[in-house]
Amino acid sequence: MSEENKRNVNSKNEQLEQFRSDDRDKHLTTNQGLKVSEDEFSLKAGERGPTLMEDFHFREKMTHFDHERIPERIVHARGYGAHGEFELYESMKEYTKAKFLQEPGSKVPVFVRMSTVAGSKGSADIPRDVRGFATKFYTEEGNFDLVGNNMPVFFIQDAIKFPDFVHAVKPEPDTGYPQAASAHDTFWDFIANNQESAHMVMWLMSDRAIPRNLRMMEGFGVHTFRLVNEEGKSHFVKFHWKPELGVHSTVWDEAQKINGKNPDFNRQDLHETIENGDYPSWKLGVQVIPEEDEFKFDFDILDPTKLWPEEEVPVKVVGRMTLNRNVDNVFAETEQVAFHPGSVVPGIDFSNDPLLQGRLFSYTDTQLIRLGGPNFHELPINRPVSPFHNNQRDGYGRQTINVGKTSYHNNSIASNTPSVATEAEGGYAHYQEKVDGRKIQARSESFKDHFSQATLFYNSMTDVEKTHIKEAFSFELGMVNDKSIRQQVVNMITNINLELSQEVAANIGVQVPTEGGSNVTKSSPALSQANTVNKPDTMKIGVLLDDGFTGEAVQKVLDGLKENKTYPTVISSKLGKIHGDDGTEIEAVGTFDTGHPVLFDAVYVAGGAETDANFQKQAGYFVTEMFNHYKPIGATGEGIAILHEAGITDVAGVVTGEDVEQFLSAYVDAVSQHRHWNRNV
Q: In Å, what is the CA distance from 451 to each residue of 455, 458, 486?
A: 6, 11, 18
**Integer Cα distance of 58 and 40 in angstroms:** 10
Q: In Å, what is the CA distance from 389 to each residue of 127, 338, 342, 374, 379?
A: 43, 19, 18, 15, 16
Which is the catalytic residue, given 76, 248, 629, 674?
Answer: 76
Q: In Å, what is the CA distance from 498 to each residue of 200, 453, 454, 519?
A: 18, 15, 13, 11
Question: What 3 state SS string does 602-662 have?
Answer: EEEEEECCCCCHHHHHHHHHHHHHHHHCCCCEEECCCHHHHHHHCCCCCCCCEEECCCHHH
**Integer Cα distance of 424 and 72 in angstroms:** 41
Amino acid making up residue 433:
E
Catalytic residue status for 534: no
**Pick from 37, 45, 118: nearest CA to 76:** 118
Q: Collect contacts of 29-34 with beta carbons under 8 A, ≥24 apart.
A: 30/56, 30/57, 30/60, 31/60, 31/64
Which is the catalytic residue, given 83, 143, 149, 262?
Answer: 149
**Pick from 220, 201, 208, 248: nearest CA to 310:** 220
Catalytic residue status for 644: no
Amino acid making up residue 59:
R
10 Å CB burial of residue 254 (0-12, 13-18, 19+) is buried
The contacts of residue 415 (CB under 8 Å, 6+ apart) are none
Element housing 82 (H / E): strand 79-88
Question: What 3 state SS string does 140-175 have?
Answer: CCEEEEEEEECCCCCCCCCHHHHHHHHHHHCCCCCC
Active site positions, annotated: 76, 149
